[in-house]
């Protein structure tokens, strides 16, 4: 009887192929596309971070050709883990725009062809390098930013050439020669071979990773001449693609080159489309340029001094002037980490809980960007409207975020768009015991504001998640009108009173 080689199994694998219904995608409302991208990014990010299991690795790849549009690869310790990962994708809004033309389930393994000692319990006799090689085969990682080729294969069981009729020694020799060919590509190609015997029509799934796609072609081509492939190999369809980070999902669906970090010109163009008033349906959040900071913004926002902005010196001088005057009044004027912060404030007349539910999804996406400080929903203290506040370290990022937030339900206006200066967002953290005192004091100050020249509107807004976090958004005709109030005796007295009721100094942010 022919001897079957021993095997040891490691992590289970799922190659999940997806096609996009492009007609449905193009016809879908902007809000639905945005939600699909947000939930897609959240899913991919959480699985790349392996938040769903004790161990493993995941990645997403674009796929070229008609067979699929993208592929998500998961390696997990158990079959239940990858089953859950597959079903969790189906819960996302992105899944509504996709079909699964095929998939592949397998489990990583090493066999007796590799080492007798490993299976005979003599691991202390195994070379350290070989042992690490075996461990890497059983629990593989996925290289960053690389091309991929996946294909299934089996060993032939024909009348003339039947792999399973050969003796163990014959098979081991053929596999050894085959391995010699593969070792020529060490450092160029990473190979993951997983068994699908009993799981799929084919017996193995082979995944090749390489920085140069021609290396993938060359290794497959050269191995075809090895006897083990020439006589005994049978292959299924090949899939080729390119890894990209989850944050590039929007760019991928827009038809941009991904990873965007390697295609600076395309990424820059993509970001500029937002600055000129348009919002691509595939945009997934404040877009990053080559430096890793949100791109975009044509200046025009006082205090925008980040290296990608076009703000002129007069804008910066104005910002410094405001900061200096506010600092003299003991008001914190931005610069939490040596940078200005900018707030986008949009008002909604929809139900606060409905707005919050939508914002919570966007906020999860915004948190992936290093320039994001905070996004929250605030409810007006004495009128029927809510405010969505999104704070960023650059004006351009706040501007881009505004494009997404403008799709929220019930949006009626954006602070600063009405007319005039629209500058003042004053944030306060109130000591819990003095909350009612603060609200009462605002009523007094609000009465003073109503009588001031150049004052249009002021709201006291309360954070739905923290009633002690409040902000006062004021609309003024001009900077000078606003600063006139801040220089007044009434405001100075209010600042002095606030030292006893506030947990921290008030913080002013510029409205982007």
> Cα 451 vs. chain centroid, distance in angstroms?
47
* DSSP code string of 406-426: TTSTTEEEETTSSSS---EEE
Q: What DSSP designation does 129 have?
A: H
φ/ψ of 476, rounded to 5, equals: -125, 155
Cis omega (within 30 of 0) on the bond before 259?
yes
Environment class of 35 (CB within 10 Å of its CB; exposed 0-12, middle 13-18, buried 19+): buried
43 is catalytic: no
Q: Are strands 411-414 and 455-463 parallel, antiparallel or unpaired?
A: unpaired
Judge whether 427 and 506 are in contact, CB under 8 Å. yes
Q: Which residues pair with 72 in a beta bridge?
A: 16, 60
Please give the distance of CA 55 from its chain centroid, rounded to a whole number.
20
Cite the DSSP H helix spans in 103-257: 116-119, 128-138, 168-183, 213-223, 227-230, 249-254
Catalytic residue among 43, 104, 118, 151: 151
Integer CA distances (angstroms), 260 to 63, 68, 250, 280, 287, in order: 16, 21, 11, 15, 10
Cite the active site residues: 151
């Amino acid at each position: 009887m022919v001897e079957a080689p021993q095997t040891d199994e490691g992590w289970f694998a799922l190659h999940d192929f997806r096609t996009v219904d492009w007609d449905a995608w193009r016809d879908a409302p902007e809000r639905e596309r945005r939600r699909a991208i947000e939930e897609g990014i959240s899913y991919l990010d959480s699985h790349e971070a392996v938040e769903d299991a004790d161990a493993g690795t995941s990645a997403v790849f674009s796929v070229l050709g008609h067979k699929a549009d993208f592929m998500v690869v998961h390696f997990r310790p158990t079959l239940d883990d990858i089953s859950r990962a597959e079903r969790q994708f189906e819960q996302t809004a992105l899944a509504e725009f996709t079909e699964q033309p095929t998939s592949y389930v397998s489990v990583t393994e090493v066999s007796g062809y590799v080492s007798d000692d490993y299976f005979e319990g003599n691991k202390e006799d195994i070379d350290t390098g070989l042992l690490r090689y075996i461990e890497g085969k059983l629990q593989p990682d996925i290289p960053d930013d690389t091309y991929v080729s996946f294909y299934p294969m089996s060993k032939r069981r024909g009348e003339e050439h039947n792999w399973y009729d050969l003796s163990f020694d014959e098979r081991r020799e053929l596999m050894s020669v085959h391995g010699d060919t593969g070792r020529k590509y060490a450092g160029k190609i990473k190979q993951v071979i997983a068994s699908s015997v009993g799981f799929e029509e084919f017996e193995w799934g082979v995944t090749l990773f390489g920085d140069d796609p021609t290396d993938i072609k060359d290794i497959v081509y050269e191995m075809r001449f090895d006897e083990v492939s020439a006589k005994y190999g049978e292959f299924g369809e090949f899939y080729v693609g390119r890894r990209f980070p989850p944050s590039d999902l929007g760019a991928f669906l827009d038809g941009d080159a991904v990873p965007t970090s390697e295609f600076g010109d395309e990424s820059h163009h993509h970001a500029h489309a937002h600055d000129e008033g348009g919002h691509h349906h595939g945009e997934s959040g404040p877009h990053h340029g080559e430096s890793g900071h949100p791109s975009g913004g044509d200046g025009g926002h006082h205090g925008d001094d980040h290296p990608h902005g076009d703000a002129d010196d007069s804008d910066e001088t104005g910002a410094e002037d405001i900061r200096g005057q506010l600092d003299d009044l003991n008001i914190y004027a931005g610069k939490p980490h040596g940078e200005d912060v900018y707030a986008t404030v949009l008002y909604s007349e929809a139900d606060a809980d409905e707005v919050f539910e939508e914002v919570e999804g966007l906020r999860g996406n915004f948190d992936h960007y290093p320039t994001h400080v905070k996004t929250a929903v605030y409810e007006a203290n004495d009128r029927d409207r809510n405010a969505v506040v999104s704070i960023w370290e650059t004006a351009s990022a706040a501007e881009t975020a505004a494009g997404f937030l403008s799709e929220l339900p019930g949006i009626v206006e954006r602070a600063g768009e009405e007319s005039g200066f629209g500058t003042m967002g004053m944030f306060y953290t109130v000591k819990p015991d003095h909350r009612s005192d603060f609200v009462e004091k605002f009523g007094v100050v609000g009465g003073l504001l109503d009588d001031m020249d150049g004052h249009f509107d002021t709201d006291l807004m309360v954070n739905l998640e923290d009633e002690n976090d409040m902000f006062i958004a004021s609309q003024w005709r001009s900077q000078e009108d606003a600063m006139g109030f801040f220089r007044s005796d009434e405001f100075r007295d209010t600042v002095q009173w606030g030292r006893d009721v506030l947990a921290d100094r008030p913080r002013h942010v510029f409205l982007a």
